[in-house]
Structure 1
Amino acid sequence: MIHPSILRKQRLLVACALALIIATIVIGMGLGYSSLSYNRLLPTLLGHGTFKEEFVLFSIRLPRILITLLAGMALALSGAILQGVTRNDLADPGIIGINSGAGVAVAIFFLFFPVKAGSFVYFLPLVAFIGALLTAACIYLLSYSRKEGLQPVRLVLMGIGFSMALSGIMIVVISSAERAKVDFIAKWLAGNIWGTDWPFIWALLPWLVVLIPFTLYKANRLNLLGLNEPVAIGVGVSVEKERIVLLLAAVALAASAVSVTGGITFIGLMAPHIAKALVGPRNQLFIPVAILIGGWLLLLADTVGRNLLDPDGIAAGIMVALIGAPYFMYLLLKKA
């Protein structure tokens, strides 16, 4: 049973995270290459703005803000699942190679398979999922031992190795491509938010609508998987089945996010850690907080990054990495 004071604390943190998200959205709607006066935001949202104001808000700012928020949520949830399934605090879809697998699949699809513009948006998450799934399956199989089960440290090392290998494959793939397509892939690798149109939101949203409730439903299973295998088996959990199902959910979330935002790492590492530090390690408590923190972190990184330098700004992936890389080093030193 969860103590009422902890539940109250969690609800307060959820409310604070929502307030931060709303404040960042409002700030982000007004900032940019073409500025929009804050006292015109509400009239424009209600349909009483000028053509320019409505175009800037509804065609440029709002889609980018929403896609960034949703992608951050997906990456945070993916990281939380991976950390629970692998019992490793360093697990993150970007660090252990899942994002790289999705990236190679997206690059190959973009460069060599001509698809109509309308259906391209909806194919991307599926293609990214296939690439990420194949990568995750290879990493899982190579990290698994019949005697000892899944070895968390080996999984991280295998993931880093796969990530480096896939980065090399990416360079080979794009070396003979057209200049315009190479530029796109380079921006994707840097974590540049490129899917900034409404169809990309509809391509990503269904994954979250299905997988957030599913993960919360599986929260108790994640709690048991976070212990050790004999304990989980002792209370009747089918360890391998649950692990594979949850791993598929994590891969789907990460792949759908990076297919429209590029190679962003560390959100899935930081958000669950911050949430656990605030409300404790129970998945049903920290996962909602982690989802909101992840969405806010990526939204903040993109809002700051796109307004630092004119006209294109700094990629959100680079902004997140500036914070996330030192945090990853801190965790490594803490575990050593």
Structure 2
Amino acid sequence: MIQQALVRKQRLLVLCGMLLILVTIMIGLGLGSSSVSYDRIIPTLLGQGTFKENFVLFTLRMPRIVITMLGGMALALSGSILQGITRNDLADPGILGINSGAGVAVAIFFVFVPIEPGSFVYVIPLVAFLGAFVTSLLIYLCSYQRGTGLQPVRLVLIGFGFSIALSGIMIMVISSAEKAKVDFIAKWIAGSIWGTDWPFIWALLPWLIVLIPFTLYKAQRLNLLALGQPVATGVGVSVEKERIILLLTAVALAASAVSVTGGIAFVGLLAPHIAKALVGPRNQLFIPIAILLGGWLLLIADTIGRNLVEPEGIAAGIMVALIGAPYFMYLLLKK
């Protein structure tokens, strides 16, 4: 039974998260090389802007902001699921090599497969999912031991190993590519938001529309998995089946996000940890907060990064890593 005071606190934090994202969006809309005065943002959004204001807001700024927010939400939810099914506070799609697997698949597709402009936007998430799925399957099999089940420590170490190996494969792939494609892949690795047009939003949004409610539906299963395999089995949960289903969900979320945002790590680590610190470890309580925090973290990182250095700014992945890497080291030493 969840205490009503905790439920009220969670709802208040969800509201605060929404307001925080809204404020950050409004700030981001007004910042950039082609600035729009803040007193003109609301009229422009209501259809009363000039051609320049409409172009800057609806063509340049808004798609990037929405993609960044959705990508952060997907990564945060993916990290929440991975931490639940592995019972490992260090689990994150970037740290465990899932993002690298998606990146290698995208790089191979981008370099060697003829690209149709019309279908490129929608095919890339599927290619990323395939690469992430194969990588996560190999990591899972290498971490699993018969009789004892999934080994969380082995999972982190093997994930690190796969991430390093896949980075080497990525270098081999781009070494044979033309300069324009190498530049694109290099920006992808750094976590530079590249999918900044409206079609990329329609490619990413369906994954979130389907998988966020599905994960919340599975929240009680995640709570039982967090208690350990004996307890979950004792109450009738098919542990391996649930783990595989939830792992596929986490992979789909991470792959769809990094296919348009680039190789971004640590969002899936930070957001769940902060959310758990605020409302506790029950998944039905902290997951909505983690989703909002993930969207805000990547949004604020990109907003600061793209305005910090002219003309191209600093990649959002680098900005997040500046915060996430020290926190990861703290958790590693603590755990």
Give TM-score, length-normalised by structure 2: 1.00
The residue number in structure 1 matching 2:172 is 172
Structure 1 residue 101, shift from structure 2 partner? 0.1
Structure 1 segment 5-44 matched on structure 2, within 5 A: 5-44=5-44
Structure 1 residue 138, shift from structure 2 partner? 0.1
Answering whether residue 229 of structure 2 is matched by residue 226 of structure 1, we say: no
Deviations 1:276-302 (A, max 9, x none): 000000000000000000000000000
The residue number in structure 2 matching 1:295 is 295
Give the whole-Å Cα distance in 1 for the aligned partners of 2:228 and 2:63. Answer: 43
Which amino acid in the other structure matches residue 23 of structure 2? A
Give the whole-Å Cα distance in 2 for the aligned partners of 1:333 and 1:163. Answer: 21
Structure 1 residue 115, shift from structure 2 partner? 1.9
Give the whole-Å Cα distance in 1 for the aligned partners of 2:294 and 2:7. Answer: 20
The residue number in structure 1 matching 2:318 is 318
The residue number in structure 1 matching 2:244 is 244
Answering whether residue 42 of structure 2 is matched by residue 46 of structure 1, we say: no
Give the whole-Å Cα distance in 2 for the aligned partners of 1:203 and 1:248. Answer: 18
Which amino acid in the other structure matches residue 56 of structure 1? V
SS of equivalent residue, structure 1 residue 248: helix
Deviations 1:226-270 (A, max 9, x none): 111110000000000000000000000000000000000000000
How many matched pairs?
Answer: 335
The residue number in structure 2 matching 1:85 is 85
Could you tell which deviates more after superposition, 287-296 or 45-54?
45-54
Structure 1 residue 53, shift from structure 2 partner? 0.5
Structure 1 residue 47, shift from structure 2 partner? 1.2
Deviations 1:72-103 (A, max 9, x none): 00000000000000000000000000000000
Deviations 1:131-189 (A, max 9, x none): 00000000000000002100000001000000000000000000010001000000000
Give TM-score, length-normalised by structure 1: 0.99
Answering whether residue 109 of structure 2 is matched by residue 118 of structure 1, we say: no
The residue number in structure 2 matching 1:64 is 64
Which amino acid in the other structure matches residue 92 of structure 1? D
Give the whole-Å Cα distance in 1 for the aligned partners of 2:284 and 2:13. Answer: 14
Answering whether residue 149 of structure 2 is matched by residue 149 of structure 1, we say: yes
Structure 1 gaps of 5+ residues are none
Give the whole-Å Cα distance in 2 for the aligned partners of 1:32 and 1:116. Answer: 31
Give the whole-Å Cα distance in 2 for the aligned partners of 1:36 and 1:98. Answer: 38
Structure 1 residue 130, shift from structure 2 partner? 0.1
The residue number in structure 2 matching 1:109 is 109
Structure 1 residue 46, shift from structure 2 partner? 1.1
Give the whole-Å Cα distance in 2 for the aligned partners of 1:42 and 1:118. Answer: 33
The residue number in structure 2 matching 1:256 is 256
Which amino acid in the other structure matches residue 208 of structure 1? L
The residue number in structure 1 matching 2:194 is 194
SS of equivalent residue, structure 2 residue 106: helix
Give the whole-Å Cα distance in 2 for the aligned partners of 1:230 and 1:333. Answer: 28
State the identity as a percent.
79
Give the whole-Å Cα distance in 2 for the aligned partners of 1:45 and 1:18. Answer: 19
Structure 1 residue 48, shift from structure 2 partner? 1.1
Which amino acid in the other structure matches residue 261 of structure 1? T
Which amino acid in the other structure matches residue 127 of structure 1? V
Which amino acid in the other structure matches residue 219 of structure 1? A
Which amino acid in the other structure matches residue 2 of structure 1? I
Root mean square deviation of aligned Cα: 0.4
Give the whole-Å Cα distance in 2 for the aligned partners of 1:280 and 1:116. Answer: 47
